[in-house]
């Protein structure tokens, strides 16, 4: 049977948000701070559990990225990907990834972070696929500041992963840290809510999953962790989220 391991990125494979540091590299810290200040009412609504994340993200990209040629960002993307993979990826989660790779499982990142830089990070980490938020590019190769499709969070993570996987039987592992991963974890045969302090050891598909989700055995060796759980609902952006 085809076996797939799907990982959230921000807060799961890396400890913190990856979007704002990238935008700061592209636009400068002052420009990002100004854009966030202008959009602060929408950000406050998101933090309170309301608002439209897709709209907030599109407005932020519109202020900071619209009109930039994708080719002009190639070096920034390359440098940022190298920085993240060398300094910010969690060593405990790398052990989890390595176990899945040894088992011959397909490795997929499913994240709200932009594919603009996430694809380069995925290549350096030797993932098989990266499913991130796509940014619209016009006929001249310039970013429009709009999203091409939806923000890859919540139910959209499941939609993108299903479209990528296609038909046929699949054994799915999933790792996530926030409310934005709830639907992805619910889809999995083996679902692990990643803790910030103690990280998951990979589980065999026969091992019981907390809250009822997978089939039933013993786990393969790996980093120590708390048992996998379904994430509870949470309101607003979270510290490990790319919005």
Predicted local confidence at residue 18, as pLDDT:
97
Phi-psi region of 11 (alpha: psi -120 to 50; beta: other; left: phi over 0): left
Predicted local confidence at residue 49, as pLDDT:
85
Count CB atoms within 10 A of the CB of residue 74: 11
**74: pLDDT strictly greater than 50:** yes
Predicted local confidence at residue 229, as pLDDT:
35
**Residue 42 CA to its chain's centroid (Å):** 22
Instruction: List, for residues 102-159, the tens digit of each pLDDT value.
Output: 999 999 999 999 999 999 999 999 999 999 999 999 999 999 999 999 999 999 999 9
- Work out the average pLDDT over 33-41: 95
Report whether 166 contacts 5 (CB < 8 A). Answer: no
- DSSP class of residue 147 equals E
**43: pLDDT strictly greater than 60:** yes
Q: Exposed e or buried b for every residue in 10-24, given b needs 16+ CB within 10 A?
A: bbbbbbebbbbbbbb
Question: Among candidates 18, 21, 151, which has minimal Cα distance to 9?
Answer: 18
d(CA 241, CA 179): 10
Contacts of 69 (CB under 8 A, 6+ apart): 140, 141, 142, 143
Residue with tokens 């590019």: 137
**239: pLDDT strictly greater than 70:** no
Predicted local confidence at residue 50, as pLDDT:
86
Predicted local confidence at residue 132, as pLDDT:
98
Six-digit token pair at 66? 């619209």
* Domains (range + CATH), the chain: 2-212 (3.40.50.1000)
Looking at the chain, which runs of residues are DSSP E strands? 2-7, 106-114, 129-133, 135-137, 143-147, 170-176, 190-193
Strand (E) or helix (H) holding 23: helix 19-27
Predicted local confidence at residue 217, as pLDDT:
27
Question: Got the DSSP string for 44-91?
Answer: HHHHTT-S-HHHHHHHHHHHHTTT-BGGGGHHHHHHHHHHHHHHTB-H
Instruction: List, for residues 177-225, the tens digit of each pLDDT value.
Output: 999 999 999 999 999 999 876 555 666 654 433 333 333 222 433 333 3
- Work out the average pLDDT over 162-175: 96
Instruction: List, for residues 45-72, the tens digit of each pLDDT value.
Output: 988 888 888 889 999 999 999 999 999 9
């Amino acid at each position: 049977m085809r076996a797939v391991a799907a990982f959230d990125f921000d807060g799961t494979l890396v400890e913190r948000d990856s979007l704002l540091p990238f935008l700061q590299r592209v636009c400068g810290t002052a420009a990002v701070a100004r854009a966030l200040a202008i959009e602060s009412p929408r950000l406050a609504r998101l933090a309170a559990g309301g608002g439209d994340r897709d709209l907030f993200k599109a407005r932020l990209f519109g202020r900071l990225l619209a009109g930039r040629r994708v080719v002009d960002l190639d070096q920034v993307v390359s440098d940022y990907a190298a920085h993240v993979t060398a300094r910010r990826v969690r060593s405990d989660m790398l052990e989890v990834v390595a176990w899945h790779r040894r088992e011959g499982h397909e490795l997929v990142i499913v994240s709200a972070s932009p594919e603009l830089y996430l694809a380069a990070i995925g290549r350096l980490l030797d993932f098989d696929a990266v499913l991130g938020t796509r940014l619209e590019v016009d006929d001249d190769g310039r970013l429009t500041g709009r999203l091409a499709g939806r923000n890859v969070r919540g139910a959209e993570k499941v939609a993108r992963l299903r479209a990528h996987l296609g038909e046929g039987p699949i054994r799915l592992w999933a790792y996530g840290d926030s409310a934005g991963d709830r639907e992805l974890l619910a889809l999995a045969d083996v679902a692990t809510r990643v803790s910030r302090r103690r990280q998951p050891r990979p589980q065999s598909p026969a091992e019981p999953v907390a809250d009822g989700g997978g089939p039933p055995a013993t786990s393969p060796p790996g980093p120590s962790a708390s048992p996998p759980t379904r994430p509870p609902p949470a309101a607003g952006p979270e510290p490990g989220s790319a919005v």
